[in-house]
Amino acid sequence: MSLDPNVTPTTTMTANVPQIHLPRNAGTELDLDWVAAVQANTSAIERRAATLPGRRSVKKAHQAAWLCKAVSVIDLTTLSGDDTHMRVRRLCAKARQPVSAQILDQLGMTGLTTGAVCVYHDMVATAVDALDGSGIPVAAVSTGFPAGLSPLDLRIEEIRRSVADGAQEIDIVISRRHVLTQNWQALYDEMRMMREACGDAHVKAILATGELGSLRNVARASLICMMGGADFIKTSTGKESVNATLPVTLTMLRAIRAYEARTGFKVGYKPAGGISKAKDALVYLAMIKDELGDRWLQPDLFRFGASSLLGDIERQLEHHLTGRYSAGYRHAIG
């Protein structure tokens, strides 16, 4: 499994390439028999995932092209307790121009932006204003992020307020206790309510996979969230001790594939937390291509939840052009 070393994705590297409009995942009725039938062979999944990094073969100009593709699907994120309006505005400026104009000129690249900017609810209006006219959507983390333990009515209200402030995407966190206690009805009902509160805004369901106990739970929770109408399923909040991993990704991608095969709906995927190196981004893109196909390489179906990843990609692109690695401080996020 690898990205094709002879294919440079020059026609699909920017976040603003017009997309074929896909029907949103409408969800389905809760099918507990389907859920009960879902299993995960942990040892086989881990063996398969362990082989993936060594099988990446894309090099030189083709690697640069795929790294630009990675930039176009980044949800550039700041979720810190000391976030300020000025920091968010700087982040939005970086989203508009994620790679230096000099590097892009030498690569022959135009129009490259990140896939979205992801912030706390309190910063949504600031981000919407800073990105006005760019076509870059604002994603808000809502529903008591990151623990998701505030009262349900407050979590639903937070979604509505984020949408009212202009968020086009809502990253919600599920109640992990519903997964750990196998209360699939409660998880399904919660997901449906959150999807309804989002209205036209797309909803990404964060599973916090590092806290779900097993890959089987990850697979079943993925399926329940898709049944409940999630537009994306996402690994992590980035605040857990274990975030995105290759075995978890493989498990969730195969759940997405099974869901599409049965319902016809394409659901997006977002790994988040711990993806900070360009070489890791290439592994994830290769896995997406192999498991789901080229259509999932577009920002309406795949995102990286990251911030430091962008800096390393910039360094790799500069090395490709100059043969030298630049200091990290030359590629500040904002």
Residues with active-site annotation: 171, 234, 270
Rounded-to-integer distance, Cα 53 and Cα 283, Å = 6
For the chain, how many residues are written?
334
Distance spanning both ends of the chain, measured CA to CA:
35
In sequence order, the 6+-apart residues with CB closer than 8 A to the CB of 264 are none
Name the residue type at position 204.
K
**Residue 44: other Cβ atoms inside 10 A:** 11
DSSP code per residue over 156-172: HHHHHHHHHTT-SEEEE
Let me know: does 314 contact 79? Beta carbons within 8 Å: no
Q: Which residues contact 108 (CB under 8 A, 6 or more apart)?
A: none
Helices (H), the chain: 32-37, 42-51, 60-72, 85-96, 101-107, 124-130, 152-164, 176-180, 184-198, 215-227, 246-263, 278-291, 308-322
Written as one letter, the residue type at 113 is: T
Which amino acid appears at position 39 of this protein? Q
Residue 32 backbone dihedrals phi, psi, to 5 degrees = -70, -25
